[in-house]
Structure 1
Amino acid sequence: MRKDCLYIICTLLVGCCLSCNNQTSLTLPSSGRPYETLVVSETAYWDSIAGRSVADVLNSDISILPLRERSFRFMHITPQQFDGTMKMVRSIIMIKINSRYTKPRMVLQRNPYAAPQIVLAIEAPDEGTFVRYVNKYSFQIIKTLVQFEMNTKILSLREKHSGVVSQAIDTIFDGCSVFLPQEFHSVKVGDDFLWASTETASVSQNFVMYSYPADTKTFTIDYFVAKRDSVMKRNIPGRSKGVYLSTDVSNLRLLQLKNRTEVRGLWRMKGDYMGGPFVSQLYINPSNHRVYVVEVFVYAPDRPKGNLIRGLEASLFTLKMPVNHIKDKN
């Protein structure tokens, strides 16, 4: 095994985070907001290329948004300052550079000081090795931190969610369930279609679920866009004739994953100036040859959208379908 290979000393993060509800009553609650992290490092390393390499990773763009937004907000403290309330922060990165380490690696801890909490220590024998390692595994670092936030949100949704939406989904989609935040109260239904939303003066958050017969081209971009636009035109029209929610085809990403297909992109109101990001997940039921789509999208013209869409995206992972009725693609 190569010396610079990735080591993550933990069980799978998904399983770890979803078992947080088994924590003892003595565990203190963590502090901090989602998608914010604390970096613990000696000042000399933080002010050098080692610190800049970590900052560059955290400052990397969230994919497919109308404007650039960084993945994480962060703050730096020294190991001497890492005590008391600082140990309660929900997401922590520790820069550890010391000649006693024989090779670079990442060590992941779950809830060492509070819950829910993730502490990611990046170890290396020297600064140059540290920087090369961080640059090589920048995607895995972001993925680990994002997955922690997603799993934390999923656990929260399982405990508290909108009963109105859950009941409607169960009725329309034959026993399926999806957990949305409690503030989702507005529900519109159609033929094999549901649209749930919640709005404030500055933000509109939305969830849609729909179903249609599968086709040999179901999991291609062109077919997805054509089907999505037809469903949205029929069910989410604008205030004026000919205005409806559509897909911006200039920036789409389709991923074929193990048990689902994921599409990320931008939506726009055809004939209007409204728009924003969306995330869709598609599943197929081989027994009845139907596709089931769950999607979230947001409209927030005067504020960042990255954390809004990521917070809603967690709801997509709460989808449950009857075993004897719906199956994943494979």
Structure 2
Amino acid sequence: MNKLIALFFLIFITVSCKNNGKSDYVLPTSNGNTNKILVVIKGNDWEGKIGDEIRSVFGEHQVGLPQPETLLSVGQIDPVGFNGFMRHAKAVLILREGEKEKIAVEKNKYADPQILVYATAKSKGDLVDLIRNRGKEIIKLFKDEDVRFTQRIFKKEKLDESKFETVKNLGIELTIPERFRLVEDTGDFLWLRQHLKSGIARGDGTNNILIYSYPLEDESKVADNITRMRDTIGKKHIPGSKEGMHMITEQAYTPFIFDAEIDGKKAYETRGKWEVKNDFMAGPFINYTIIDKENNRVIVFEGFTYAPSVNKRDFIFELEAIAKSLKIK
């Protein structure tokens, strides 16, 4: 009798789980780096016009970097081979033919975390057009997910930013990994530095964070003053190895400025190159200039990288993820 009761109880639990749409199955951990996607497409299509269009759109160079680096690194696999371990890729683009054009997103289907983007069009020619016309939209889906993925990692190793006077005075919070160390904190200006520990840049390369603010006087002139403001800060706070040396915006390279949004507020994203005046040090920077109308000020988050002889896209991306975690209390 006890065995019969136990059997009925097991059946009840199983049915209840199914009815509630729940499962005890634990997804495997996904594999793959940020800024890298796997494209599921037949080999002959990859070598043909569809693949050419993917390489053209996704292979566009990221602006603001000293060496050419693509927006995304792209690999390919045939649909027949997309099974088993290969399904555990963190970011996957699946191209297929169907009745109507659409872009759909599915998360954590085969692994966790994972994003699958399905790009569907009526024919191969239409797939080419879809990638050409909506490729930037697809890239943004992957980039935004990578930002969230990176922020989740940083939250697990989060630095207590509230101990910095500048952060407290500005009334902000953000997710900074504890690998960053304090360089300067005046109450009005914060400089944090992370020493890179891998690759050729090990021991010599650094990722840096600058945070400060200034009064909002004329909103229409904020974008035009970004370079002047960062050069002023560089002269005051970022010295070189000798007297008369300090960080400036590279004069031979015009920065790129884009509209952005941080914590629901209007902002400008600036990507460019920095250099040390009268010296040979240089590298890329990313700057978010945030218009805080409620407090009549402009808040600036800037990240810059010094990593000689190595690619810098992923270092700048980490700084981007930190910047986009910023909240104004």
TM-score range, shorter chain: 0.7 to 0.9
**Per the alignment, in what secondary structure is the counterpart of residue 273 of structure 1?**
coil
Deviates more, 1:28-37 or 1:165-174: 165-174
In the alignment, the residues of structure 2 paired with residue 242 and residue 25 of structure 1 have an alpha-carbon distance, to the nearest angstrom, of 62
Counterpart of 1:32 in structure 2 is 32
In the alignment, the residues of structure 2 paired with residue 297 and residue 274 of structure 1 have an alpha-carbon distance, to the nearest angstrom, of 12
1:30–1:119 Cα change, 3 Å: same
Counterpart of 2:105 in structure 1 is 108
1:151–1:56 Cα change, 3 Å: same
The one-letter code sitting in structure 2 at the alignment partner of 1:185 is R
How big is each residue's C-alpha offset from its partner over 1:31-76, in whole Å with a ceiling of 9 and x where there is no partner? 1111121111122222221122222222211122112111222222
Offset, 1:170: 6.5
Counterpart of 2:8 in structure 1 is none
**Per the alignment, in what secondary structure is the counterpart of residue 185 of structure 2?**
strand
Specify which of 256, 259, 265 is matched with residue 259 of structure 2: 256
Aligned length: 296
With normalisation by structure 2, the TM-score equals 0.83
1:70–1:174 Cα change, 3 Å: closer
In the alignment, the residues of structure 1 paired with residue 83 and residue 47 of structure 2 have an alpha-carbon distance, to the nearest angstrom, of 21
Q: Superposition pairs for residues 126-275 of structure 1, below 5 Å? A: 126-163=123-160, 165-168=161-164, 172-200=168-196, 201-216=203-218, 219-249=221-251, 250-257=253-260, 259=265, 260-275=267-282
1:82–1:310 Cα change, 3 Å: same
In the alignment, the residues of structure 2 paired with residue 237 and residue 213 of structure 1 have an alpha-carbon distance, to the nearest angstrom, of 24
In the alignment, the residues of structure 2 paired with residue 42 and residue 228 of structure 1 have an alpha-carbon distance, to the nearest angstrom, of 48
In the alignment, the residues of structure 2 paired with residue 271 and residue 170 of structure 1 have an alpha-carbon distance, to the nearest angstrom, of 30
In the alignment, the residues of structure 2 paired with residue 64 and residue 287 of structure 1 have an alpha-carbon distance, to the nearest angstrom, of 31
Offset, 1:186: 3.0
In the alignment, the residues of structure 2 paired with residue 321 and residue 25 of structure 1 have an alpha-carbon distance, to the nearest angstrom, of 39
In the alignment, the residues of structure 1 paired with residue 91 and residue 219 of structure 2 have an alpha-carbon distance, to the nearest angstrom, of 41
**Per the alignment, in what secondary structure is the counterpart of residue 173 of structure 1?**
helix
Deviates more, 1:119-128 or 1:151-160: 151-160
**Per the alignment, in what secondary structure is the counterpart of residue 127 of structure 2?**
helix
Offset, 1:171: 5.2
How big is each residue's C-alpha offset from its partner over 1:75-99, in whole Å with a ceiling of 9 and x where there is no partner? 22111111111111101111213xx
Counterpart of 2:82 in structure 1 is 82
Higher Cα radius of gyration: 2
2:43 counterpart of 1:43: yes
In the alignment, the residues of structure 1 paired with residue 56 and residue 88 of structure 2 have an alpha-carbon distance, to the nearest angstrom, of 24
**Per the alignment, in what secondary structure is the counterpart of residue 144 of structure 2?**
helix
In the alignment, the residues of structure 2 paired with residue 181 and residue 95 of structure 1 have an alpha-carbon distance, to the nearest angstrom, of 36
2:117 counterpart of 1:120: yes
| C-alpha contact 1:219 1:261 (8 A) present in aligned 2 | no
RMSD (Å), alpha carbons: 2.1
**Per the alignment, in what secondary structure is the counterpart of residue 291 of structure 1?**
strand
In the alignment, the residues of structure 2 paired with residue 180 and residue 303 of structure 1 have an alpha-carbon distance, to the nearest angstrom, of 23
| C-alpha contact 1:264 1:278 (8 A) present in aligned 2 | yes
Structure 1 residue runs without a partner (length 5+): 1-22, 323-330
The one-letter code sitting in structure 2 at the alignment partner of 1:190 is T
In the alignment, the residues of structure 2 paired with residue 29 and residue 53 of structure 1 have an alpha-carbon distance, to the nearest angstrom, of 31
| C-alpha contact 2:213 2:300 (8 A) present in aligned 1 | yes
How big is each residue's C-alpha offset from its partner over 1:207-258, in whole Å with a ceiling of 9 and x where there is no partner? 0001122221674444222222112211111110110011125321223345
The one-letter code sitting in structure 2 at the alignment partner of 1:242 is G
With normalisation by structure 1, the TM-score equals 0.83
The one-letter code sitting in structure 2 at the alignment partner of 1:320 is K
Counterpart of 1:68 in structure 2 is 68
Query: Greater share of helix residues, 1 or 2?
Result: 2
How big is each residue's C-alpha offset from its partner over 1:182-209, in whole Å with a ceiling of 9 and x where there is no partner? 2112331125100000113242100000
In the alignment, the residues of structure 1 paired with residue 56 and residue 301 of structure 2 have an alpha-carbon distance, to the nearest angstrom, of 33
Q: Superposition pairs for residues 14-29 of structure 1, below 5 Å? A: 26-29=26-29
The one-letter code sitting in structure 2 at the alignment partner of 1:127 is K
| C-alpha contact 2:166 2:212 (8 A) present in aligned 1 | no
